[in-house]
Structure 1
């Protein structure tokens, strides 16, 4: 008869699913963990996938044997179905070593049978604590998103808040692939790194590879690695980028520049969770647990149309798609970005720069920024280095930035648009520029405040999301 325990450090809302071929033994184990304050449920192992979807457990305790091949497919199938659960494998001591090799990518821990209640209780308490911390971190991240920051990502615009929410959702998933799309300089690598740092893989390796920089004849070897003697010049074994990222995250930047035939091999490797070095004998496969993040400055649709991106690979990456807006479509974020870049650069260069004066900030806000956030960061760093006063001034900026900024922002018009559409766009972009200040917007537009309000009433009924504009603005 299990003894009741009132230990206060166990959350009573942590759900634990026990899966075992011995249902009677599973129910006994369920009763034990329920007496510790958990919410337990027992199920036959062949019903675990269905029950996991219905019960949504935080922890799965699954009883496996080395000779049961279905155990190898169980954990990958959970991930395929999008079921994120901390899995603890229970097995006889003799089976543990074999199971660790074959299903290591999906299990967070192992415990030997017969079960020692004290060891199991310590393990479950640790997992419960980790879950609580993870939940608190998610709540904190949501608060930060509302404040306009998520790790190193900065921005209060509607578009960037949406990006931050997607990053937070992607980080909460441990294995789902991610596709990041955006112009050069919009921060794709920063977003990928942030997803890794906020995820459960944060303690694992993070490997970033630019496919454009891989020579065609070395791409396969660089990614998969090779054995000694695999080809001419292979004088030693080489670990590929996939092996280096095992247990962590692999970013493939400019994925459409990867050779199409290697895209097919990459997809097979990621889905099979097995790595085979070039020149390795059959059967010498390495269990692989890598989260794939792919980024591109090109439209995936266009890349597929021209045969540069395989449709099946894109479908695999389509679980989380994060589109980064160009800086010209989020000008309201410039003050916050400038503040962040000044702080970073001042610390790096040991300068006593505390901010930016109004004229300088206005020039920065009026610039077109074809190089996006990366260009802005470089400009601020250069200005911080040359500045002689606590506040950055217009004279600290490069001449081309001063000239371009004083011309002011603009947007293109397409032939075929009605005057109503042009006026509506002009009014809303002016409001974006003034951060919603209607008095200032009316002054710029050369109309009265009452006229502006009338126009807003007229156009407000039309759908508009100021954070997701088209790429018409230059």
Structure 2
């Protein structure tokens, strides 16, 4: 491959000359321009592969230059240089399509890594139809019903697809939000699949599932003897994901001290293992996910504001399944194909009556609950088409599970009790259990009954119970501690 062409746009003469000389010493072909207007003229004539531009410049600043460069037919990757305190403008540049940003004064090692990543992305991207230059998108088209592991033709899912297409080839951090079971990890895997890192590791870690005392070791690694029981050196998730993608699921459950350390790694691209004296460079794209409202989490102190702004360069909101029920036939068909392969079954399809029932159900557990329901039905059906009798008794019928997102209908006479179903989807259990809650029961007591009944139904599987209840494992543990404390009074 011929050396990449790098255009340096910087209004300060010494900085411009120093950057151009440094980048040339790394083997790149380099040109320089004194401001945004001159940079735009040079880009038109020279067609650089990478543009390294300052933000604050006379005549045309970095954001205006990015906007003008986007009008040119040739593609390029932009790296923005920003002074401390102008991070908001750098984030705006990333949202406009910049590949990455770097704070001034420039750290040569960080700049070299960014340019290497940009070059690798250019080399791995498919050639476009015009002139063979690399395309920066994910090479998909509108109205596709699949994007990697994601499925859907609805407007909500098509919006998710377009966002993933746009940002997957970049190196930006992404925050994915949505209710439990909406497919946040699948969206993260799609971002990885359509990026230049697709042939490198994808590592997913659930921050809520790791004990607080071990989370730093799991994420950042440790040296031998760093703590009691550390008998050997161990790489953390960052090092395991080197050159690839790291998904930090349930980021709001991460302890505050670990969040501070994570922020440092994101900014410096270096980490220090527990017990280590030296820092280790890392090259990892970080994607975070949470089922909480991140702004509320920041307001409550669960999530650091500076970490939120560093992660939330781009935001993907995964829609609840009830909000794109028109996609259920497609999703169910994809799940059926997968389950036939995994279970060795030959279920030929799904009856219209069952599809109608699936589409009318509110799915409080979203796609995860749909998968559990489908899996149970496939195992029962064997070689038959999936039909209503393969569902748990009463599934989806009126009054079976009141949708949590809707108000209960008015009644002329108040009921004596309310029934809340616990959809366990456990092998060997034919139908959901029901919690009877008498009128006059407090909300706290009703919640306690539902949690304890769900644990019984899942045979004390706390992870599964938390999934059914739509809460994190940590929240469930805290509730159980509270109940034990109350019992001891």
- TM-score, with structure 2 as normaliser: 0.62
Q: Residues of 2 paired with 1:272 and 1:390: CA distance?
A: 57
Q: 1:4 aligns to what?
A: none
Residues in 1 aligned to 2:29 and 2:359: alpha-carbon distance in whole angstroms: 66
1:226-305 matches, within 5 Å, as 226-281=222-277, 284-305=278-299
1:67-466 maps to which residues of 2 (within 5 A)? 81-82=93-94, 84=98, 105-108=113-116, 138=137, 140-143=139-142, 146-174=143-171, 176-281=172-277, 284-401=278-395, 403=397, 412-413=406-407
1:17 is aligned to 7
Distance 2:200 2:364 in 1: 35
What is the CA-CA distance between 1:189 and the residue it aligns to?
1.0
The alpha-carbon deviation at position 21 of structure 1 amounts to 4.0
Shift of 1:361: 1.2
The change in CA–CA distance for 1:135 and 1:142 in structure 2 (over 3 A counts) is farther
Please tell me whether the aligned partners of residues 217 and 274 of structure 2 are also in contact (alpha carbons under 8 angstroms).
yes
Shift of 1:140: 4.0
* Shift in alpha-carbon separation, 1:190–1:411, aligned structure 2, 3 A: closer
Find the residue that maps to 2:137 and give its secondary structure: helix
- Residue 462 of structure 1 is matched in structure 2 by none
Aligned residues: CA RMSD: 4.5
**1:57-88 deviation digits (Å, cap 9, x = unpaired):** 856899xxxxxxx9xx9xx9x9875364699x
- Aligned partner of 1:436 in structure 2 is none
How far apart, CA to CA, are the structure 1 residues paired with 2:386 and 2:125? 49
Deviation for aligned residue 1:169: 2.2
- Flag the 1:129–1:228 CA change in 2: closer, same or farther, 3 A: same
| Distance 1:370-1:277 versus aligned 2 partners, 3 A rule | same
Partner of 1:67: none
Q: Specify whether residues 277 and 407 from structure 1 end up closer, same or farther in structure 2 by C-alpha distance, changes over 3 A only.
A: closer
Structure 2: distance between partners of 1:18 and 1:391? 63
> How many residues are matched?
359
Point out the structure with max Rg over C-alpha: 1
* Aligned partner of 1:40 among 42, 46, 51: 46
Query: Matches of 2:52 and 2:397 in 1, distance apart?
Result: 69
Greater share of helix residues, 1 or 2?
1
Q: Which has the higher contact order (CA 8 A, sep 6+)?
A: 1
Q: Distance in 1 between matches of 2:233 and 2:382?
A: 54
